[in-house]
Structure 1
Amino acid sequence: MSLHDDLTSVQRRLDDLMRCVARLDEQAGDSLDMRRVRADAAHLRESLGLLQASAPAAAGSRTVDMVSISDAPYDRGLWTDAEDEGLGSPYRHAP
């Protein structure tokens, strides 16, 4: 399944959950546990909405821009006073 299909499937199941929570709320009444279930279901709905909003952006950001690197040699001035990694300064003896 594609990401879009999975998100649609989760949305349908979440809609079913919200309907069941509403029916349960009518039967169970307003209690601390029922408020917690309502809050958790609402939090799931918000989180799924955020995921759906960011999913197209994440799928579209996978394009890679090519960066061309010149074949011209580097300016030797860039390496002035640089030490060779692992060998130390050219003025000292290597171990």
Structure 2
Amino acid sequence: MSLHDDLTSVQRRLDDLMRCVARLDEHSGDTLDMRRVRSAAAHLRDSLALLQDSAPADAGKRPVEMVTVPDAPYDRGLWADAEDEGLGSPHRHAP
């Protein structure tokens, strides 16, 4: 499935959830717990809308670029002045 298909599927399920919450609200009345459920469902709806707005239009159509990593060992000169994190300086003197 593409990103667009997944977002559409989530939107349909969220619409179902909102309908169920509305029916539940009719039966249970305005209690603290029901207000929390309504608030959580509304928060999900708002979050999904933000996610849909920020999703790129061609997210599912872009090919993934593969990067090859050579098997040859790295040049040791790359780490000549580096310190190992957590081990301190190579001369064991605190800064």
TM-score above 0.5: yes
Q: Could you say which structure has the higher helix fraction?
A: 1
RMSD of aligned Cα (Å): 2.4
The residue correspondences of 1:1-40 to structure 2 (distance < 5 A) are 1-40=1-40
Larger Rg: 1
Q: Aligned equivalents of 2:58 and 2:4: distance in 1?
A: 12
The residue correspondences of 1:41-60 to structure 2 (distance < 5 A) are 41-56=41-56, 59=59
Q: Aligned equivalents of 2:58 and 2:21: distance in 1?
A: 32
Structure 1 residue runs of 4 or more that deviate by more than 4 Å after TM superposition: none
Q: Aligned equivalents of 1:28 and 1:35: distance in 2?
A: 10
TM-score, scaled to structure 1: 0.61
Q: Larger relative CO (CA 8 A, sep 6+): 1 or 2?
A: 2
* Number of matched pairs: 65
TM-score, scaled to structure 2: 0.61
Gaps of 5+ in 1: 63-84, 88-95
* Identical positions, percent: 81
